[in-house]
Amino acid sequence: MIYKRSSELFNEAQKVIPGGVNSPVRAFKAVGGDPIFIQKAEGAYLYDEDGNKLIDYINSWGPMILGHAHKPVVDAVVDKARKGTSFGTPTELETRIAELAVKMVPNIDKIRMVNSGTEACMSAVRLARGFTGKEKIIKFAGCYHGHSDSFLIQAGSGAVTFGTPNSPGVTQGTAKDTLLAKYNDLENVKELIAANKEEIACIILEPVAGNMGCIPPAEGFLEGLRKLCNENDILLIFDEVMTGFRLAPGGVQERSGVNADIVCFGKVIGGGLPVGAFAARNEIMDYLAPVGPVYQAGTLSGNPLAMAAGYAMLKELHDNPSIFESIDKKTEYLHEGMARVIESHKVAHTINRVGSMISVHFSEEPVTDFASSAKAASNGVFNKFFHGMLENGIYIAPSAYETWFINDALSYEDLDKTIEVVDKVAKTL
C-alpha cells in the first residue's frame, strides 16, 4: 500500500505538534515508520488520506464496540450539537446516563462524570486517600492508569522499596507515595502491605490488563486482592477504562464476581467522545464535593455532546446484551484462526484473550505480567508482524504492549481475511 500523503502530513505535523502527534503511541516510534493519517471511518474500517481501506483492530483504543460512525450514536450527537455544545450547567441527560450506568454495573450507587480515563483514575485515587485518611497507593508494573504523576512510577531496587519517577516532571515526593507491585503476584502485594502497615489508601489495577498487551488475571488473583483489602482497610480500585461495558454489561466486576470499592470508566461510556467516570457506593462517593471534603471539578464534565454519545451507546448495550456474546464469539474465532496459522509456521507465540480483547505475544512462555513476560517477548518479531499486517490492509496497535479490540461491525469475512493475512505474514517471521 502507498502512504505518501500520510508521510507528508506527518512531516507537516512535526513542525507544529511535539513529535507530530497528540498522544505518543500514535507516532509509530515503537514499530518504526511514519504513522497513518485517517480521513474517516465507518463500521469495521478505517480510510486513510491515501485512500487505503483498513480493517481496524484498535477501534479508537476500545470505545467503538459497535463500530465506527454507529448511526444511533452519530444521530444523538448531531441532535444535541444543534441545541448547543456546552452550557456549564446541569442537564437532565447527565442524570439519565448515570441512572443507566448504575443499573448496569454491580456494587455502585453513584457515578461522577469527568473528561478522560486519566482524570477518572486520578480522581479515584484522591477520593480513596480522602476517604481513608492514608496517603500511599499500590499500582502494578505494566498497568497504565493515565499520565497523572502518581501513576508514572517505575520499580525501586527491591520488593518493598519506593518507586522512582519514570518521567521528568514527576517529583520524588510524589513517587514515595506510590508502591509498585508485580501483576498476578499476591505474595508481592502482601510484602508491600506488611512493609507499609496502616499507610496504604488503595490498590489500583486493570483487572484485565490491556497496556502490556492483553493479560488476564491469574486464577484467584482478584479474589486475593479483595481479601487483602478487606483485612487491611484498603480500598480496591478497578480501572475499567478499557474493560467497562466491553467485557460484560457490568464489566469485570460482573464477569469475575469480585467487587471493587471504586470503579473507573472511559472509552465505551463516551461512545467515542472524550469521557471518563468513576463510581462507588454512597458512603465513598459522598466524600466528594459539594457534599463532602474531597474536591474534584471540571467545566466540561458531563457536557451534552459526550453524554448524548455515551447514553446512546450504553442504551444499545443494555437493550441488546446479545452483543457481548456476539463479539466474544468473533474474538474466539479470530483467536483460533490466528493460532492455527501461526503454529503452522513454527513461530513462537502466545495469544491471550478475554472476551473481546486479544493480543499476540511473540514469546515461547505464557505472558502473565510485564517484567518477566510481556517485556521479554520479541519486539523485533512483533514490529515485522505489525508492518506486514499494515501492508496487507490490517490495522493493529503500533506497539507490542497494547491489546487489540474487536467490534461487532466486523464480519466473519473480515475475520477470515485477517487470518489469511496473518498466515501470509507469519511465513516471513
pLDDT value at position 123?
98
The SS3 call for residue 280 is strand
C-alpha 105: how far from chain center: 17
Q: Are the C-beta atoms of residues 62 and 282 closer than 8 Å to each other?
A: no
Distance (Å) of CA 110 to CA 34, 278, 286: 43, 9, 9
What domains does the chain contain, in order, with CATH numbers? Answer: 4-69+321-426 (3.90.1150.10), 71-319 (3.40.640.10)
Peptide bond into 216 cis (omega under 30): no
pLDDT value at position 160?
38
| Continuous segment of H or E residues that includes residue 343 | helix 322-344
Active site residues: 144, 239, 267
Residue 159 has pLDDT above 60, yes or no: no
Report d(CA 25, CA 23) in Å as an integer: 6
H/E/C letters for each residue in 3-39?
CHHHHHHHHHHHCCCHHHCCCHHHHCCCCCCCCCCEE
Report d(CA 173, CA 164) in Å as an integer: 10
Range with lowest mean pLDDT among 5-14, 187-196, 206-215, 372-381: 372-381
Q: Stretch 405-422: mean pLDDT, rounded?
A: 98
Residue 156 has pLDDT above 60, yes or no: no
The three-point CA angle 101-107-111 to 5° equals: 40
pLDDT value at position 371?
77
Residue 256 has pLDDT above 50, yes or no: yes
Report d(CA 294, CA 336) in Å as an integer: 48
| Amino acid in position 270 | G
Instruction: Say what the pTM is.
Output: 0.95
Share the mean pLDDT of the chain: 94
Q: Assign 158 a pLDDT band (cuts: 50, 70, 90).
A: very low
Q: Are the C-beta atoms of residues 264 and 278 closer than 8 Å to each other?
A: yes
Q: Stretch 90-104: mean pLDDT, rounded?
A: 98
Q: Are the C-beta atoms of residues 209 and 402 closer than 8 Å to each other?
A: no
* Per-residue pLDDT tens digits for 113-149: 999 999 999 999 999 999 999 999 999 998 999 888 8
